Structure 1
Amino acid sequence: MFGADRRVYTLAFARMADSIGNSFLIIVLPLYIGSNVITGDAFGLGAALITGIILSAFGFLSTILQPIAGYYSDRTGSRRIFIVIGLVILAGANYVYSLAGSYTAMLAIRGLQGIGVAITIPSTVALVNELTTEASRGGDMGIFNTFRFIGFAAGPILAGSVVNGGPYYVAGIAMTGFEAAFYIAALGALIGAILIMLFVEDPDAEEQDAEAGSDLGFAIFDHDHDTLIDPVFALGLALLTVAIGIAMIEPLQTDINNHLNQGAQLFSIEFSSFIVAQVFLQTPIGAASDRYGRKPFILGGLIVLIPAMLAQGLVTTPLGMIVTRLIQGAAAATAFAPGFALAGDIADTGNSGTTFSVLTMAFTLGTAIGPLIAGYLISFGYVVPFAFGAVLSGLGAFLVYSQVEETHGITSETAGSGGQPVGQD
């Protein structure tokens, strides 16, 4: 489980540093947009709506561009340069937030962030895949996702303290709490880029160039097996349902607090419970999928998500919500690492960037539209968004059951599976 190539750990640490910076902005941007710093034309929209548009622009633009970025990283045979370029763009975007004073500027910067992430993510996951073998891929994907979630969890916790602790004085220069938060977010992305430049190289770049295909590396329909939908695309749709369910809680904080008669602190604990389960379970579950197969874990996680999602709309105490969020996190962890490992088993080395872009695109899209769906459905009743999330989880489970075949122990014997074996460093 812990014998991964050191470059996998470097990629994981770089992703953690980047995630800390990005998740900072989950807390900071709404506060910054709502402050007196942002002025000018809001396009005739209310403050809440323009804030939602600015926040969502990141996810939608990133979703559109990820397959393109993955495709070109396949064609060039170089992952590292795409990762570094994306992180540098992200660092620059995070920094210039401190200079923005209008809604138009905020929207443009948020779009630039989306471009940086779109360039980075497919190449990062593809490189992790290419640094692993089928025997260790699940555990390595679990390690990578674990560090990502640690960064995602740490960012919001630190952000509130940084913003409220300002102003700061560093070397005689004064900065507000907002400026300090943006600088930290930029530093996180920059640290990630430096780590990649110093400690990571593309594996066997010449072989990758030779194997890179001329197409996008994935399809919607499957013409080679008995299934209707291409297994990677079906897996992407299943992870889309998981991501929507994860993101649904974000806009419902006030409704949940009123329903459970609780304050913001308890909501924070409930929100974090999901991430705690992810951090502790991603790696062991991924490693278990290396031993027992991918599909049983993915399918089992999606099935458990059905009652876990519905229960969140039915519990009447904060403790009940914490427990259901822990179960939801455990179920999602059971699907994530084995799901990415299964895609890696299927992917040809030369097309792994576009193959993984299907999954990363689905997750990004789910986190973008989940809050919008929840915000709309809550008007029909408190339980409705959670029931809808349960139905989506059921659809995801059906897709995996009917359209995804087991790959572990099979793909490498019958076809060129994902990454070629790479010596341990």
Structure 2
Amino acid sequence: MGYLDIDRRILALAFARMVDSLGNSFLIVVLPLYITSGVVSGGTFGLAPALITGIILSAFGFFNSAIQPFAGNLSDRTGKRRIFVIAGLLVLTVSNFVYTLVGGYGAVLLVRVAQGIGVALTVPATIALVNELASDTARGESMGVFNTFRMLGFGLGPVVAGGVVAGGVVAGGPYLGGAVTGFEAAFYVATISALLGAVCVYLLVEDPEVDDEADAGEEFSLAVFNHVRDDKLLDPVFTLGVASLFMAVGIALLEPLEHHINTTLGQSATMFGIEFSAFVLAQVVLQAPIGTWSDEYGRKPFIIAGLLLLVPTTLVQGFVTTPLAMIVARFLQGVAGAAVFAPAMALAGDIAKGRSSGTTLSVITMAFGLGTAVGPLSAGYLAGISLPFGTSYAAPFAFGAVLALLGCLLVYTQVDETVNTDGSSERADAEPAAAD
């Protein structure tokens, strides 16, 4: 099956997420610099700059992950995914713009919370749409192609953002004759990108027809234990969610340490953006083919291999001493992430029943969002702990490596394969229970 055979609505959703992600990823580079630049004022409650930065960045993930399962379940019950996607993108549009109007730590925190709410409305409904529009034998491919577009935008953003901010970091920057600073220009790009994503979904995407209203989701509840297989303790979707959380923590450790990393490696914000994007480049190159291979060879082998590779590629980031070494480490970490993400989403999609896609898949997206919150917060805290080896900020990356190994062990012991050797997305073993 070629990529051009994928449902056009999946491609439209992928494009919309690409332009939206480009704008959102600006903030990965911009917000840490913005918070520590002196432009943001007000009390920090006696907290260190790295920790207050971590708290603000983490607020997005905490609210995002807390709301996602309920938004996903509500989209199941109403059968109206599209409106949730558009509403979330419009919330992001407004919140991205409001950054240009606020200048206190408290206000920046509130805007970050609003961003988390916007993403919580958008992500579960979008992934559920992709899952429902994909054919059973090409679910991994569809998830891979969708995430390739999303990560393409996410990867371009930090590289461009570093240059935008560097060109106008001084108050009264060079844009529009000095009327717009580099920070404001970055926030405007994020605003326009979210709005463009909303317009794309409005014009090009429709909800799939649903014949069986009885399959609509019930109230959200998270199944932790496996009640079907006696040889498995944990529910497979819950297990995949825990592994996704651990993976996201390791990926997000880099964000609040930008200042420390730039100082240690003697580099600029632009180089940090390149290092961040090296992870995304690997995702862009490998998501689609790995997703396709998982349709044929199975989901579980790729997930386990990816989590294993996450261990050394996360740990080494606390030891490198040159920008080139950090770029290589981030690229290989991206290879590991690519091996986990699309197959994990496809495996959970295989388990989802009827119109429960939003509820079931929100367990994975919720966990990933929670990981993006825990990662920066734990990095800000652990960066103050000195290890007898590595850089001054090696402790967070050692923590991330341990989590990746634990996630690998959980998937290996608690998750069954869902793809038969003939490539059909049916239970290769007895079917485990999905998230209720």
The alignment's TM-score, normalised by the length of structure 2, stands at 0.87
Give the percent of matched residue pairs that are identical in Structure 1 and Structure 2.
58
Worse overlay, 318-327 or 82-91: 318-327
* Residues 90-148 of structure 1: per-residue CA shift (max 9 Å, x gap): 11111122222333322222111111111111111111101101211111111111111
Letter in 2 for 1:227: K
**Partners of 1:14 and 1:191 within 8 A in 2:** yes
Name 1:214's counterpart in structure 2: 218
Letter in 2 for 1:95: F
* Residues 181-215 of structure 1: per-residue CA shift (max 9 Å, x gap): 222211111111111111111111343x3311324
Cα distance in structure 1, aligned partners of 2:259 and 2:33? 16
Name 2:419's counterpart in structure 1: 408
**Partners of 1:70 and 1:123 within 8 A in 2:** yes
Name 1:114's counterpart in structure 2: 116
Cα distance in structure 2, aligned partners of 1:47 and 1:386? 19
Unaligned runs of 5+ in 2: none
TM superposition shift of 1:218 = 4.4
TM superposition shift of 1:15 = 0.6
* Residues 361-401 of structure 1: per-residue CA shift (max 9 Å, x gap): 11111121112323333423234333322221111111111
In the alignment, which of 191, 194, 197 is matched to residue 199 of structure 2? 194
* Residues 313-341 of structure 1: per-residue CA shift (max 9 Å, x gap): 45555444433322221111011111111
Cα distance in structure 2, aligned partners of 1:269 and 1:96? 27
Cα distance in structure 1, aligned partners of 2:194 and 2:243? 29
Name 2:97's counterpart in structure 1: 95
Equivalent residues, number = 415
Worse overlay, 402-411 or 316-325: 316-325
Cα distance in structure 1, aligned partners of 2:319 and 2:42? 43
1:197 alignment partner, SS class: helix
The alignment's TM-score, normalised by the length of structure 1, stands at 0.89
Q: How does 1:294-373 map to 2 (within 5 A)?
A: 294-315=299-320, 317-373=322-378
- Over 3 Å counting, the alpha-carbon distance change for 1:76 and 1:134 in structure 2 is same
Letter in 1 for 2:334: G
Name 2:298's counterpart in structure 1: 293
* Residues 18-74 of structure 1: per-residue CA shift (max 9 Å, x gap): 111111122222333345544445556565544433222111111111111111111
Letter in 1 for 2:150: R
Name 1:231's counterpart in structure 2: 236
TM superposition shift of 1:262 = 5.9
Name 2:28's counterpart in structure 1: 26
Name 1:70's counterpart in structure 2: 72
Letter in 2 for 1:71: N
- Over 3 Å counting, the alpha-carbon distance change for 1:322 and 1:21 in structure 2 is closer
* Residues 212-237 of structure 1: per-residue CA shift (max 9 Å, x gap): 13242641111012311110010011
In the alignment, which of 371, 378, 397 is matched to residue 386 of structure 1? 397
Letter in 1 for 2:11: Y
Letter in 2 for 1:115: I
Name 2:176's counterpart in structure 1: 169
Cα distance in structure 1, aligned partners of 2:103 and 2:61? 22
**Partners of 1:238 and 1:393 within 8 A in 2:** yes
Unaligned runs of 5+ in 1: 419-425
Letter in 2 for 1:12: A
Cα distance in structure 2, aligned partners of 1:108 and 1:293? 43
* Residues 229-252 of structure 1: per-residue CA shift (max 9 Å, x gap): 110010011111111111122334
Cα distance in structure 1, aligned partners of 2:37 and 2:46? 18
Cα distance in structure 2, aligned partners of 1:154 and 1:41? 34
Cα distance in structure 2, aligned partners of 1:134 and 1:34? 48
TM superposition shift of 1:260 = 5.5
Worse overlay, 58-67 or 300-309: 300-309
Q: How does 1:117-156 map to 2 (within 5 A)?
A: 117-156=119-158
Cα-Cα RMSD: 2.7
1:380 alignment partner, SS class: coil
Cα distance in structure 2, aligned partners of 1:391 and 1:36? 36
Cα distance in structure 2, aligned partners of 1:113 and 1:316? 34
Cα distance in structure 1, aligned partners of 2:110 and 2:395? 34
Worse overlay, 173-182 or 185-194: 173-182
Cα distance in structure 1, aligned partners of 2:108 and 2:207? 35
- Over 3 Å counting, the alpha-carbon distance change for 1:387 and 1:174 in structure 2 is closer
1:136 alignment partner, SS class: helix
Cα distance in structure 2, aligned partners of 1:33 and 1:261? 21
**Partners of 1:277 and 1:326 within 8 A in 2:** yes
**Partners of 1:216 and 1:351 within 8 A in 2:** no
1:229 alignment partner, SS class: coil
Letter in 2 for 1:404: V
* Residues 151-184 of structure 1: per-residue CA shift (max 9 Å, x gap): 11111222233332544339xx943333332222
TM superposition shift of 1:254 = 5.1
Name 1:422's counterpart in structure 2: none
**Partners of 1:16 and 1:149 within 8 A in 2:** yes
Cα distance in structure 2, aligned partners of 1:274 and 1:46? 28
TM superposition shift of 1:416 = 12
Name 1:79's counterpart in structure 2: 81
- Over 3 Å counting, the alpha-carbon distance change for 1:376 and 1:55 in structure 2 is closer
